[in-house]
Structure 1
Amino acid sequence: MHCRPPHLFLSKTLASLHMLLIALSFSLFACATNPDNEQPRPDHHKDGGFRNNYSFIDPSLLDFLEWRRQRLVHMDRSEPEDLPDPVTDPAVDYLASNHSEVSLTFIGHASVLLQMNGLNILADPVFSDRASPLGFAGPKRHQPPGLTTQQLPHIHAVVVSHSHYDHLDRPSIRQLCEQPGGPPVLMMPLKLDDWVRQAVPECDEARVEGLDWWQEALLGEVRFILTPVQHWSQRTPFDRNQTLWGGWALVSDDFRFWFSGDLGYSQDIPDIGERLGPFDLAAIAIGDYQPRWFMSPQHIDPHEAVITQQEIRADRAVGIHWGTFRLADEPLDQPPKDLAKAREKHGVPDHHFITMVFGETRRWDGSDLVPLSPSSDTEKSDPVTGIQPISGSVITVDD
């Protein structure tokens, strides 16, 4: 019997094993790069978090310290003289019974209540006295909320733009989750939904969803679409940009609304107008913009707010994010004054971009946002509570 030399047998065995490893490597590589198995990561995603779509100058710690130094020396700390008094008799009965008209209520800072298509939608609800993790320190309110949580109608949905304390307030979210009749749907930018589930145990029965930019969900007849804006997120020294941020487009067959949240000016704004415009109405930030060398990457000023209205193609706009917390160097009553100058510069009629009194409710008459009449009759009907999936939706929830 002929026997193979041991070295030849060993050589062929090693060669076969080598070829097997090569084949296995190619197989694993093919699986790892197969687009059918894994979608490519969006450009605004990065390891451990998110980034802006376009060039963003992120102010450094030294920039922040220099701003604080200048603020201590130069900022006018006198109380503003021209802040409008809050509405003393908010339209609580109208808001509770209205299931047919579109209305907008300015609660304060960035908090607004939108009623459309039978839904009560609350944006960036902050009812606490301070925009801070501490109840005894941090930016304090200079105007009370125009409505209390007890005066709100039943809230069907809450949209939050980002994680900063003047836009995401844990006590307010907790109170809304404990409202009579059950919690609202909480719609958050991506990964902020995880924060809610962990940080607000009172919302464990709530429907909490996280959306990426341009993703959408359907509640009743309203599409909720998270839009990109230039900003950033942070709640602790260790979580910068770990959760997404954005504006919200709320769209139905007969009304289109955009909520800006916080934003610096970027190409995202005309992108929104091209992709989702025109809008009937927009709530656009106009405050916390001085000094420009520090604030411009993250906060538009009234001049840029008017440009934003034009570029998203909104027929009417309401200025938000002003008069409540002292977060920048301009006086609290300055944004409406600078908005008036910006309207004049751009040839925008006064009633096309307005500010509202804290607690004021206005209704949409089909072409404009108008004050409520003394006897506003509304159609009473059952509010919409169901969520259905739509194309591209990330939400599938049964009643």
Structure 2
Amino acid sequence: MKRNPYFDPTKPHHRPGGFQNNYLEFREKRWHELLRWRWGAWRKGEPKPPKDSIPVVEPDLAFIHANAKAGMAMAPAITWVGHITVLAQIGGLNFLTDPVFSERCFPVQWAGPRRHTPPGLRLAQLPHIDVVLLSHNHYDHMDEGSLLALAKQAGGPPMFITPLGHKAWFERHGIHGVIELDWWDRHMIHATEQNARIPIVLTPAQHWSARTATDALRSLWGGFAVLSPDCHLFFAGDTAYSKDFADIRQHFAIDHAPGLGGGFDIALLPIGAYEPRWFMRDQHCNPAESVQIFKDLGAKQALGVHWGTFQLTDEALDEPPRALKKALAAARVGEQRFFVLPVGGTRRLTPRL
């Protein structure tokens, strides 16, 4: 087994050959489990076709681009580009989560899952992106074409912040200066005015990584906390439900004291790609578990992402919002607190304090 160059024996999630989860040891599914999944889906005729079209709106480009140039007068806002990709405008900076603009999420663009909805903003419509937050290396999150295009954007490349083990991939593609973080590492970035410093923290998630057939668990995965003065944002990346989210709330308890503005102002939480549960529950949460993550975090609001774009699993493409609505009612959480947006839709957020 190839040795993990980042291995630290004092850290429980480190292994000599890679990384692991905190609360559940991930193992790759065996061939007979994959066969059972695909056979079961075929017998039941799944995934079912969508009952409704995925909602899409024209992006508010006038607001997005004016806001992008507003510096510290920027209004905190999020725009759902589609799937896991969100443009977050906070702290005078433009952040992009797991940018996926390609037609397919696969090693090649002539095969694999195809987009059912176009990106809410095309690459050419984006404002200048300051920071890209990359959660892990699966193809529906780490999209080569999108990352290379962003590295060539007018005005210079964004800062790419990733979990451990991704820098070599970027350097092979001519992208340098990538920031790698371990779980709980805190990297400080500077906003454009008043020398404001914004901490970005890599947080644990229960998931896994693989880019090829031979590199499973060699790179780390995770979510991000962005502690901007005007908005504390949490991005979960891909994850199953675990005790990690109660740990995250505890970790940021001092930052989120009531006198400092309370908990995360917005959490970007996955609500799709969860069926069948026997196969997916150790790597993807369903909407009910997403609601529990929301409660564990103590966040003020959440946006449901990771749905409506690629048919990755057995639930219908439009099912996650319906399941989310039921889960919110069962948990007595208002739909105004945990919401979905149309592709291309923007939600302006109340500034912190």
TM-score (norm 1): 0.79
Cα distance in 2 for residues equivalent to 1:173 and 1:286: 24
Map Cα deviations across residues 128-174 of structure 1 (whole Å, 9 max, x no partner).
00010011111111111100010000000001100000000000000
Q: In the alignment, is residue 265 of structure 1 matched against residue 265 of structure 2?
A: no
Kindly tell me: are residues 294 and 78 of structure 1, through their superposed partners in 2, closer, same or farther at Cα, counting changes over 3 Å? closer
User: Counterpart of 2:302?
Assistant: 317
User: Counterpart of 1:145?
Assistant: 119
User: Counterpart of 1:219?
Assistant: 189
Q: In the alignment, is residue 301 of structure 1 matched against residue 277 of structure 2?
A: no
SS in 1 for 2:39: helix
User: Counterpart of 2:193?
Assistant: none
Contact 2:77 2:88 in 1 (8 A): yes
Q: In the alignment, is residue 197 of structure 1 matched against residue 204 of structure 2?
A: no
Q: Structure 1 or 2: larger helix share?
A: 1
| Amino acid paired to 1:183 | P
Q: After TM superposition, what 4+ stretches of structure 1 lie above 4 angstroms from structure 2?
A: none
SS in 2 for 1:314: coil
**1:149-160 superposed matches below 5 A:** 149-160=123-134
| Amino acid paired to 2:206 | Q
User: Counterpart of 2:19?
Assistant: 50
Gaps of 5+ in 2: 1-6, 191-196, 254-262
**1:122-271 superposed matches below 5 A:** 122-198=96-172, 200-201=173-174, 203-204=175-176, 207-220=177-190, 221-271=197-247
Map Cα deviations across residues 14-64 of structure 1 (whole Å, 9 max, x no partner).
xxxxxxxxxxxxxxxxxxxxxxxx975411111121111112353521222
Question: Over aligned residue pairs, what C-alpha RMSD do you find?
Answer: 1.7
Q: In the alignment, is residue 83 of structure 1 matched against residue 53 of structure 2?
A: yes
After TM superposition, give the deviation of residue 362 of structure 1 in Å: 1.3
How much identity, in percent, do the aligned residues show?
42
Kindly tell me: are residues 41 and 194 of structure 1, through their superposed partners in 2, closer, same or farther at Cα, counting changes over 3 Å? farther
After TM superposition, give the deviation of residue 91 of structure 1 in Å: 1.5
Contact 1:75 1:329 in 2 (8 A): no
Give the counterpart of 2:80 among 88, 91, 106: 106
Cα distance in 1 for residues equivalent to 2:37 and 2:316: 16
User: Counterpart of 1:95?
Assistant: 64
Map Cα deviations across residues 252-299 of structure 1 (whole Å, 9 max, x no partner).
233211001100111111101111252111010000111100100000
After TM superposition, give the deviation of residue 319 of structure 1 in Å: 0.2
After TM superposition, give the deviation of residue 77 of structure 1 in Å: 4.7
Cα distance in 2 for residues equivalent to 1:156 and 1:165: 22
Gaps of 5+ in 1: 1-37, 368-399
Give the counterpart of 2:268 among 276, 283, 302: 283
SS in 2 for 1:210: strand
Cα distance in 2 for residues equivalent to 1:41 and 1:333: 44
Cα distance in 2 for residues equivalent to 1:59 and 1:338: 27
Cα distance in 2 for residues equivalent to 1:353 and 1:39: 38
